Structures are given as C-alpha cells and as structure tokens.
Amino acid sequence: MIAKNHRNMRTKIATNHVDAIDLAVLRGGRFSDRIFFDVPTSARLERYIVSRLRQMAGARYVIMPGVRDRLNEVLAGRSTDTDALLQKVIDAAAVRVLRHQVAEINSDDVRAAASSMFAQSGAG
C-alpha cells in the first residue's frame, strides 16, 4: 500500500560518483541535505588505525614494529575498509596464538589479511 502523505518519508542515497547521478533526481528540492565525506588524510588515517587497533586488540597482543606503516600502506585510498581489515589482522594473530602461543600482531598478519580482503584487486 502506498502512503498518500509523502511528507513523513525519508530517502537517503549514497554514491562515490556524484557525476553519474541524473540531474533530474537532484532537481527541485527532492533532497534537502547533501553531506560530503572526504577521504581522510594520511595522518588522520594513521591516528585512527593506532587508536582502533589498540581498542580492538587490547592488551592481548604485542603490536610489532612495522605494523602501523604496513596498515597505512595497504589502506591508502581504502579507508572505508579499515575496521574490516583490522579485524582480519587480529583474527590472523589469534590463529597464531592458538597454534604457536605467540601473542603478537606483525606485518605478516597485515599481508595475509590484505591478501584475503583485496585478492580480486591484486592489492596487499
């Protein structure tokens, strides 16, 4: 059943390609607000990675040298994948804890996580 009163309806759209949206869709007050999200700078992404990795990993793992740099390298231009990649990194470290009782996160974990996540695009 279609509502007769459309004033209570809310529609949200999202795109990475604003130029591909038909101008008729944007015309005449159909959308009252436009919110733009920029890709974070390298420094902001690094701060987020450090903060989020500490939060997700807690005190369970030692974060080895080179991990932050490798994460920044892998996530350049892919900031929307940050949390998913960090979780895969922690999952790889958890497997090592189970197999070898070594509680660390290292660059190999980042490589393995990136390979599994971005295999189709050839990154990692």
- Tell me the C-alpha distance between 85 and 29, whole Å: 39
Domain boundaries, the chain: 42-117
- Tell me the C-alpha distance between 33 and 29, whole Å: 9
| pLDDT of amino acid 121 | 54
Give CA 40 to chain center in angstroms: 11
Residue 86: which residues within 8 A CB-CB, separation 6 or more? 49, 52, 53, 56, 71
| pLDDT of amino acid 124 | 47
Q: Which of 6, 49, 48, 5 is nearest to 29 (CA)?
A: 6
Classify domain 42-117 by CATH number: 1.10.8
| pLDDT of amino acid 103 | 94
| pLDDT of amino acid 6 | 61
Give CA 51 to chain center in angstroms: 14
Cα dihedral sign for 110, 37, 28, 2? positive
As averages over each run of 10 residues, the pLDDT of the chain (124 residues) reads 61 76 77 76 89 90 93 87 92 92 94 86 49
Model's pTM, two decimal places?
0.67
